[in-house]
Structure 1
């Protein structure tokens, strides 16, 4: 198996059977469901428009059953996987690197300010709203430009991506009260934010409870009541997800992965992984 660190644009082009022109962006028009059950990260940002059909996406620990029309936004850092839903779809995706979009932009942190790329709760915008009409038109323009012999195609597509981002950002700003993140109680929201920042260093429930000034029992119950998972399950599943991504990179030994995830040794990591997945890390890697 090829070593996997992140999914490159070339790898995405092979997945969708489209021509790879070795650009810093890739436009895909797909009629079949993307099917990658193993979690992975990508080297590029992605904005997708599901025009018809249904797909299932897991972003982080959040599972989205996405029905058209819908917009999907993913940052490189987001661990994602896809499983079968409907066979026939109409899906267009523009993949782009940070360096491509911000080549001539003064604000190098522009993409980091767009919460919907990084936040797994906001990665899907699925509403029959006038924004979908705008998205439809913008993707048609991207497609027309991509398939033309326009000398300025790269610059034109770059600007269409900016328009997409501004439209999506404007929608979320105008509809904050309906946002999935807004519906989280403050304790759960703070816990998930803290977990995202520290899971590589800390996996004890007591640490998170102490930081949030509540008892471990109260934290776990509060998180489970709202999300269906206890705080301990969130911690364990987040670490397991990271481990699965790292195990796909065969240039890393299991011992090195254990160190990256801050386990005392490979044996402790192996017991943790087996307890949460039913298989040993080595067997998981063999079965990829």
Structure 2
């Protein structure tokens, strides 16, 4: 079944910041507040965000982190994300752009996919040292000035700054130490889980795929995350369920089928066990 998943359009992002008159394929805002969206969602556009002041809580897929300024956040369209408040005062610059805008005249249509910090939940956040903070302040200031002073060359100028941002972030990524790298088996488990969770939900399957015993895999995951392998599997299924339930065009039965449950009742029991309410109650409460 071709499942349509609700995403936030660029126009919706503009409306969150009270800018509905902009019909371009990009959108820049400097905000002293953030439209905190605690329910998980996807977007149609890329986003590069510069947190200048304050802090914010971001969850991408199953990873939740408190981000303190100064920091850069990078998010690709497919990333499931949500935001909650952490500090009363923040200052954040955000540039949203559709992939087709950025890739205009770009021969390599896969250019953006080469930069895993847009999609990998472990790499979305760049905490900035002083010299990098000054550099990004300068880039975002130039970017904002190009937006404010409209011209026929504005799209090309903006693309140039986006290239600079991406290349500078890649330099930081390459020079960062690997001190925070998790156990390689745990990383591989998360990668395999993200790929196969729709069809495979047994811990044994992941142990076999990774060529380790179920007991050893469970110990590594528990030691690295504090959660069991079964918890990880349940959590990612629930997260995808919530995304699908936000799409009112899909029936509960269609969602159950797309998530590979044997029937709607089985999906309902699973969802209620994890969330304490039925899928329909969740939809009525959240949508």
TM-score normalised by L of structure 2: 0.95
Mapped pair 1:168 → 2:166: no
In 2, the alpha carbon distance for the partners of 1:65 and 1:195 equals 24
Where 2:100 maps in the other structure, the secondary structure is helix
Where 1:63 maps in the other structure, the secondary structure is strand
Question: Following superposition of structure 1 onto structure 2, how do residues 181-192 of structure 1 map, counting pairs within 5 Å?
Answer: 183-192=181-190
Q: 1:45 to 1:38 in 2, by over 3 A?
A: same
For residue 201 of structure 1, the aligned residue among 199, 202, 208 is 199
Worse-matched range after superposition: 44-53 or 205-214: 205-214
Matched with 2:16 is: 15
Matched with 1:226 is: 224
In 2, the alpha carbon distance for the partners of 1:98 and 1:119 equals 17
Question: Following superposition of structure 1 onto structure 2, how do residues 51-70 of structure 1 map, counting pairs within 5 Å?
Answer: 51-70=52-71
Matched with 1:28 is: 29
Question: Following superposition of structure 1 onto structure 2, how do residues 235-254 of structure 1 map, counting pairs within 5 Å?
Answer: 235-254=233-252
Matched with 1:40 is: 41
In 2, the alpha carbon distance for the partners of 1:226 and 1:236 equals 17
Equivalent residues of 1:33, 1:87 under 8 A apart: no
Shift of 1:232: 1.2
Unaligned runs of 5+ in 2: none
Equivalent residues of 1:258, 1:265 under 8 A apart: yes
Shift of 1:214: 1.8
Q: 1:20 to 1:231 in 2, by over 3 A?
A: farther
CA RMSD of superposed structures (Å):
1.4
Shift of 1:129: 4.1
Equivalent residues of 1:18, 1:28 under 8 A apart: no
Equivalent residues of 1:33, 1:85 under 8 A apart: no
In 2, the alpha carbon distance for the partners of 1:87 and 1:60 equals 25
Where 1:39 maps in the other structure, the secondary structure is coil
Equivalent residues of 1:33, 1:88 under 8 A apart: no
Where 1:283 maps in the other structure, the secondary structure is helix
Deviations 1:98-141 (A, max 9, x none): 11101111111111110111111111111324222221111111
TM-score normalised by L of structure 1: 0.95
In 1, the alpha carbon distance for the partners of 2:259 and 2:139 equals 42
Q: 1:69 to 1:285 in 2, by over 3 A?
A: same
Mapped pair 1:273 → 2:267: no
Shift of 1:207: 0.8
Unaligned runs of 5+ in 1: none
Q: 1:54 to 1:192 in 2, by over 3 A?
A: same
For residue 255 of structure 1, the aligned residue among 253, 256, 259 is 253
Question: Following superposition of structure 1 onto structure 2, how do residues 104-183 of structure 1 map, counting pairs within 5 Å?
Answer: 104-178=105-179, 180=180, 183=181
Where 2:110 maps in the other structure, the secondary structure is coil
